[in-house]
Amino acid sequence: MNRRKSLSREGAPKRLAKGGSSKQMKEEIPVLKGKTKKELEELCVSLGLEKYRAAQIYTGIYKSRYTNLDQFTTLSKEAREKLKQHTSFPEIELGRDLASKEDGTRKFTFYVGENKEIEAVWIPSGDGGRKTICISSQIGCTLNCKFCATGLLEYKGNLHTWQILDQILQVERLVGDRATNIVFMGMGEPMHNYFSVMKAAHILRDQEGFGLGALRITISTAGVTTGINRFIENKEPFNFAISLNHPNPNSRSSIMDVNDKHPLDKLVESAKRFTKELDRAITFEYVMIPDVNMGRDNAERLAKISRSVNKCKINVIPLNTDFTGWRRPTDDEVKDFVMHLKAKTTAPILNRRSPGRDINGACGMLALKGIRSETR
């Protein structure tokens, strides 16, 4: 723990951009990527193009996955020229591409501007059935959870919808495959970039967009209750996860600053409201840290919270990072914790595997550079 304290944000290594600024778009030039069909319609009309062109542009971006405007051959040449003149069709810039030697995981670093790095991870399941991309929603994170490497980075802002979606477009192109599932569990707090995240999720879900079902998309929060409540009020159709990580208010505050502003009791209230009003299960994520949150009393309190929420699942995740001075639990410690939990709750408990640890691509490791041996 003491070691973690000495790692201030200022002390985090500076990242070097590999160019990037030339790809930064001036605000006044509309970016085609990231727009909804309605927004494209408005854009077409403002450019003097027929409204129905919007559907062709929309399909070209998200379904046909065109990478430059010349590929949009359903449009007239004049329309293409107009779009070239008055809009932009940018890409985030690929930096590192690391492949795990232990499993099929690949971690990609992208630049979204000078000194602005984000990461996305390709995670195929062992049997090849499920292929997940874990994407970032912000450049760094303001939350500073004590166990998470992203908290060590300087926060550099929200991602635009197009930068969120471009992670998926590029990762799929680089691995030569399509994802079956998307999780907003990379860098950042999705509820702090609510509007851009939800817009991206709706384009991902849309049959004429990426065509993924809503339940193949999971949005995760460290517990920003205002965002959860908005998600409920908007009746969003996506899977939702809360990173609970400690069942006692004071101890939760000591490892997650977010608990000061959005206290545990309010968080549990929001979770109850979610299951009641949306009639779906909510997922609690629980990073297991020995001597911090793995005691029998912790398991029993977590079970009590799960019983109070109508429908929920619990994902337990062994701590992946070691920069904190904390250690990863042994298999026996995990087994014990899960046993105490199971004794007191009927909620399904998933013991989440942590693929990509060797390339710092597992939960909580995004922002740690390169392969593990380099970072130790």
Length of the chain: 376
Q: Interaction with ligand SAH in 148-177: which residues (CB under 6 A)?
A: 148
Least distance (Å) between residue 332 CB and ligand SAH:
18
What is the closest distance, in whole angstroms, from the C-beta atom of residue 26 to ligand SAH in the complex? 30
Other beta carbons within 10 Å of 10: 6
Q: Does residue 363 interact with ligand SAH by CB under 6 A?
A: yes
Judge whether 255 and 245 are in contact, CB under 8 Å: yes
* Contact region with ligand SAH (CB under 6 A), list: 7-15, 166-174, 218-226, 270-278: 218-226
Give the separation between CA 326 and CA 290, rounded to whole angstroms: 7
Residue 111, beta-bridge partner list: 93, 117
Residue 74, helix vs strand vs coil: coil
The two three-digit tokens of residue 283, written as one number: 């997922």
Choose one: 42-50, 94-102, 313-321, 367-375; the region binding ligand SAH (CB under 6 A).
313-321
Neighbours of 13 (CB within 10 A): 10
Q: The tokens of 188 are what?
A: 């950042």
Minimal distance, residue 285 CB to ligand SAH, in Å? 4
Q: Is there a contact between 139 and 157 (Cβ–Cβ < 8 Å)?
A: yes
CB closer to ligand SAH out of 105 and 221 = 221
Tell me 329's DSSP state. Answer: P
119 is catalytic: yes
Q: Is 221 in the site for ligand SAH (CB under 6 A)?
A: yes
For residues 15 to 54, the per-residue mask of contacts with ligand SAH, x marking binding by CB under 6 A and - elsewhere, is ----------------------------------------
Q: Among 314, 319, 341, 347, which residue sits at the site for ligand SAH (rule: CB under 6 A)?
A: 319
**DSSP states of 112-137:** SSTT-EEEEEEEE-TTSS-EEEE--S
| Of 208, 212, 162, 158, the residue nearest 182 (C-alpha) | 212
With CB under 6 A as the contact rule, the residue among 49, 98, 185, 299 that binds ligand SAH is 185
Among 109, 132, 196, 220, binds ligand SAH (CB under 6 A): 220
CA distance 338 to 85: 59
Write down the least CB distance from residue 158 to ligand SAH, Å: 13
Give 317's DSSP letter.
E
Interface with ligand SAH by CB under 6 A: which range of 14-22, 32-40, 120-128, 217-225? Answer: 217-225
Which range binds ligand SAH by CB under 6 A, 80-88, 219-227, 228-236, 303-311? 219-227
- For the chain, helix (H) and strand (E) counts, in that order, are 13, 12
Active site residue 363: yes
Shortest Å, Cβ 360 to ligand SAH = 10
Which of positions 257-296 make contact with ligand SAH (CB under 6 A)? Answer: 285, 287
To ligand SAH, the closest distance from the beta carbon of 25 in angstroms equals 26
**If binding is defined by CB under 6 A, does position 364 make contact with ligand SAH?**
yes
- Would you state the structure tokens that stand for residue 120, as one six-digit string? 């996305």
Residue 41's beta-bridge partner residues?
none
User: Which one of residues 54, 169, 222, 341 is an interface residue with ligand SAH (CB under 6 A)?
Assistant: 222
Catalytic residue among 44, 134, 145, 363: 363
Cβ 320 to ligand SAH shortest distance, Å:
4
For ligand SAH, the closer CB: 87 or 163: 163
- The stretch near ligand SAH (CB under 6 A) out of 14-22, 290-298, 317-325, 329-337 is 317-325
- How far apart are alpha carbons 255 and 270 in whole angstroms? 21
What is the Cα 267 distance to its own chain's centre?
20
- Extract the tokens encoding 111: 């630049």
| Residue 337 to residues 286, 300, 325, 349, Cα–Cα distance (Å) | 11, 9, 21, 11
**Active-site residue set:** 119, 363
Interacting residue ranges for ligand SAH, rule: CB under 6 A: 147-148, 185, 189, 220-222, 243, 245, 285, 287, 317, 319-321, 363-364
